[in-house]
Amino acid sequence: MLCQNCQEREASVHYTQVVNGQKKEMHLCEQCAQGEGYMDFANENLSLHHFLTNMFPFDQTKDQSQQQMTSAQTIKCEGCGLTYHEFRHQGKFGCSQCYEAFSDYLDPIFKRVHSGNTEHVGKIPKRLGGNLHKHREINQLQEQMQQKINEEDFEEAANIRDRIRHLKEELHDDHGGEA
C-alpha cells in the first residue's frame, strides 16, 4: 500500500484515531508520518513491558503527593521480598503473596488494563452456555435482593424476588420440568 500523503513510498505507519465515534485511518510512509507528527514516539522503547509499566497509576498521576508515592515505593512482599518499585519496573510479581502485599495499589492498574473492571467473570459462548447465563443472573439478583432487604427497601426487594421467580420458571420450562 502506498503512502496516502506522498503516494510515492510504501506505507509503514498505520494510524487509527477514533473521536466521537468517527474512525479516521491513515496509512503513511515513515517520512510523512514524522512530518505530520504521528511519530513523536519513534525514538522511545515501545516494548510490551514499557507499555504495561506506563499503565501503573504512579507513573501517570501527577496530583498525588510525593509522600504517598514514596510510601508505596517502600512496600515489600513478605513472601519474596519484591518491593513495589521493583514490581513497577519489572511489570510482574515475584510470588502469589505479592497480590496481597500490593493490593491497595492494584485496583487502579486492573481498571486501566481491563476497561474499568477489577473482577474477571469470564465469557460464556451462547451456543454452549445453555442456561448458565440465567443462573448467573439469578445469583446477581439474589445478592441485589439481599442488599435491598438490608437497606429496608422492601418494595424493590419484592420486585427483584418476582424477577427471580420468573427466571426460575423459565429454567424449569427449559429443562422440561427439571430445574
Per the prediction, the chain carries an average pLDDT of 77
Check pLDDT > 50 for residue 12: yes
Q: Do 77 and 101 have their domain in common? A: yes
Cell 505507519 belongs to 13
> Is residue 136 domain-shared with residue 170, that is, in the same domain?
yes
Model confidence at 125: pLDDT above 80: no
User: Which helix (H) or strand (E) element contains residue 88?
Assistant: helix 84-90
pLDDT at residue 87 greater than cutoff 70: yes
Instruction: Print the domain residue range for 162.
Output: 126-174
Region 110-131: what's the mean pLDDT? Answer: 69
Q: Is residue 95 situated within a structural domain?
A: yes
* pLDDT at 42 (0 to 100): 47
Residue 161 in any domain: the answer is: yes
The type of residue at 64 is Q
Calpha distance 15→26 (Å, rounded): 5
**CA pair distance 82, 86, nearest whole angstrom:** 6
Residue 94 lies in a domain: yes
pLDDT > 60? residue 102: yes
d(Cα 113, Cα 176) in Å, to the nearest integer? 43
Structure pTM? Answer: 0.36
H or E segment at 18? strand 13-19
Answer with the residue of higher pLDDT: 117 or 16.
16
Instruction: Give how many domains the chain has, as a whole number.
Output: 3
For the cut 80, the answer to whether the pLDDT of residue 11 exceeds it is: yes
